[in-house]
Chains A and B, each alone.
Chain A
């Protein structure tokens, strides 16, 4: 007699054990420490913190280790953990003008107050596999600039702003910014929610959208006004004190795109902005975010908005890789019942229409 498949529980347990074994790999090879991930896979840590929405290098490193280096899975782990954290409140806005700069470049001006600071970057390397690295060579010592960096490096957007050539940042209102992790996104979204959504959004998705806008699907005429990387102070106002105190320092990458805008009926010609910000050093992400941010403002600026990157509902609803990955992969779950229903329908429909071949 037929016996229905049973024993799901044991099978699942064993699947998990098998995965843990795979993760560990050959036990003869030393196990990876979180410190190694933090120190030597720093850019992966940065991405996981950015899209995972927690600034904590150690947690991100643990997530990467636990996910066997699958960054989308690591982001998911971090997000699920984030759900359980108590919330004390929001910090004061960080001041990127006061950033302790490690890297700062502008593609809009050859030179500017504070100069171009290349900092750590792959930009000018030849992408040749380095077999010396495989052999474990120690890096050459880098020579730092002989003079200290300028105290204050004005942001390029602020320089343009003094001449009134770039739109003002929308005046802040007294409303606290929205938070997608507490309230569902409701459309149309304001600037706060758009930027939060993009900051958490999948780097690959934003990259492709930004790229499509450059290839003619909604050109925004962008210039990389400025990209800066460095540490900023995080300040918090505890209710019992009533004034801000510094609670720590984080490294962020900020990208301000400067986009040409020919003006409209109400607004004279000027530059407009697209804004990108990410934890750690994530320039690709910050730039893509800035391009998409600007693209999504097409409607607001009275431009034709017919392309994917300009479609707020399309972009904001599909940017999150935890949502996307879950829903795509849920197709692995059983769909026996639905499939059974469709199977039965197809049979019935075929029975109702006489077979073409036999009819002929």
Chain B
């Protein structure tokens, strides 16, 4: 396997990687806390996962096996482009199987297959600040985090229930990490939120444009905000996956014709394939 000529292993120079690793260590030490870091300009545009790419570049080694997903799928354009970037600049092995991967970079999903100790899940984060919509000023939100002054966050949930009778936040649903820091899980569906709680894998979050890194270390409590009488709940479907028959995975709706025809399929393509294989083997 050859790396791209003229570039260091995984694109970034070693100094930069060390700087990022220091930020990651700090993030792991203070779960949920957003650590500012000297985010570099990458050859992919901001919003395309530059934060996740830098985190992956800092933690990946030649023996790692990388999986990249976007919307749960390995073959969406952005996932393909990032996987290739590392195949080219680091020459690492890649895989589409969740169980085989040592590092998984993701945008918008957590794999359905439970992660295990030793795996690293790297999230691409567009906006890291959970308080951003309540308070646009960084100087103020920093203070609110420092003082754990999070009452205002529930105001939004209160408004949802007052208006809609339920909490109307469906993705990027705010969580409290380790009982201390309020954190945005990145725009994963709230369906995935429970998977973050006490997960054996290391979860790293990189926001390139906003220059922040944060982390949820293995086996850390992650609680989705809610009210006692309106507890957090996840989406459920009446249908099962039309391909593999899964009844408990996140389903994408596919428009099959222009007369209202719809079908539902797993958003996690690897999960779908392995369920199919299992089904076929059983038959």
Contact = CB atoms under 8 A, between A and B. Distances in A.
Partners in one complex: yes
Interface of A: 1-2, 4-9, 11-12, 76, 79-80, 82-84, 86, 181-188, 313, 317, 322-323, 325-331, 333-338, 340-345, 348-349, 352
Contacts of B209: 323, 326-327
Interface of B: 7-8, 11-13, 16, 36-43, 45-48, 50, 70-73, 75-81, 107-109, 126, 136-139, 164-166, 168, 170-172, 187-191, 209, 211-212, 235, 242-243, 250-254, 256, 263, 265, 267, 269, 272
B170 A345 contact: yes
Given A84-B11, A183-B38, A326-B45, A336 B252 contact: yes
A323 B127 CA distance: 12
Contacts of A340: 189, 250-253, 267
A88 to B, nearest CB: 13
B139 A188 contact: yes
B36 A82 contact: no
Given A184-B211, A334-B70, A338-B187, A329 B47 contact: yes
Given A181-B41, A323-B46, A327-B46, A6 B75 contact: yes
B41 A322 contact: yes
Given A182-B38, A333-B78, A344 B211 contact: no
Given A1-B243, A330-B48, 8 more contacts: A8-B76, A76-B41, A84-B7, A184-B39, A313-B137, A327-B47, A337-B109, A343-B253
Given A8-B76, A337-B109, A352-B165, A83 B41 contact: yes
Nearest to B12: A83
A83 B75 contact: no
B189 A341 contact: yes
A1 B243 CA distance: 8
B46 A86 contact: no
Give the residue among A8, A182, A187 with the most B Cβ atoms within 10 A: A8
B136 to A, nearest CB: 8
Contacts of A330: 45-48, 126
Contact of B42 (A80, A187, A313): A80
A17 to B, nearest CB: 15
Nearest to A11: B77
Nearest to B237: A344
A342 B138 contact: no
Contacts of A313: 136-139
Contact of A334 (B38, B78, B165): B78
Tell me whether chain B's interface is mostly helix, strand or loop, or mixed. loop
B235 A344 contact: yes
A61 B46 CA distance: 23
Contact of A76 (B45, B189, B254): B45
Given A2-B265, A330-B126, A187 B139 contact: yes
B235 A341 contact: yes
A76 B190 CA distance: 34
B37 A326 contact: no
B267 A9 contact: no
Given A185-B211, A337-B108, A349-B164, A8 B46 contact: no
Nearest to B273: A4
Contacts of B172: 338
20 contacts: A1-B243, A2-B254, A4-B272, A7-B75, A11-B77, A12-B80, A84-B8, A86-B13, A327-B46, A328-B47, A330-B45, A330-B48, A333-B107, A336-B71, A336-B252, A337-B188, A341-B171, A341-B235, A342-B170, A345-B168
Contacts of B165: 352
A2 B243 contact: yes
Contacts of A2: 242-243, 254, 256, 263, 265
A326 B252 contact: no
Contacts of A182: 38
A86 B12 CA distance: 11
Contacts of B126: 327, 330
B141 to A, nearest CB: 11
Nearest to A8: B75
A349 B252 CA distance: 19
Contacts of A335: 71, 108, 187
B78 A80 contact: no
Nearest to A333: B78
A352 B41 CA distance: 47
B71 A337 contact: yes
Give the residue among B70, B170, B191 with the most A Cβ atoms within 10 A: B170
B42 A83 contact: yes
B162 to A, nearest CB: 14
A31 B187 CA distance: 44
Contact of B170 (A5, A185, A328, A338): A338
Contacts of A325: 45-46
A359 B47 CA distance: 44
B47 A4 contact: no
